[in-house]
Amino acid sequence: MDLEKFTQKAQQAIVGAQAIAGEYSHGQIEPQHLLLALLRQSEGIVPQIIQKLEAKPDEMSLALAGELERKPKVYGATTQVGLSRELNRAINEAEAVARRMHDEYVSTEHLLLALTGTHGG
Q: What is the pLDDT of residue 79?
A: 63
Total-model pTM: 0.90
Q: What is the pLDDT of residue 76?
A: 74
Instruction: Return d(Cα 7, Cα 107) in angstroms, integer.
Output: 5
Considering its fold, how many domains does the chain have in total?
Answer: 1
- Kindly state whether residue 20 falls inside one of the protein's structural domains: yes
- Kindly state whether residue 121 falls inside one of the protein's structural domains: no
- Kindly state whether residue 18 falls inside one of the protein's structural domains: yes
CB 7 within 8 A of CB 103: no
Residue pLDDT tens, the chain, 121 long? 788 999 999 999 999 999 999 999 999 999 999 999 999 998 999 999 999 999 999 999 999 999 999 998 988 766 678 999 999 999 999 999 999 999 999 999 999 999 998 655 4
Rounded CA Rg of the chain: 14
Residue 38 belongs to domain spanning: 3-116
- Kindly state whether residue 22 falls inside one of the protein's structural domains: yes
- Kindly state whether residue 53 falls inside one of the protein's structural domains: yes
Amino acid at 89: R
Q: What CATH number should be reported for the domain holding residue 38?
A: 1.10.1780.10
Tens-digit pLDDT profile for residues 92-107: 999 999 999 999 999 9
Alpha helices in the chain (DSSP H): 8-23, 31-39, 45-52, 57-70, 85-100, 108-116
Q: What are phi and psi of 73, to 5 degrees?
A: -105, 155
Q: What is the pLDDT of residue 90?
A: 97
Instruction: Return d(Cα 16, Cα 102) in angstroms, integer.
Output: 26
Q: What is the pLDDT of residue 78?
A: 61
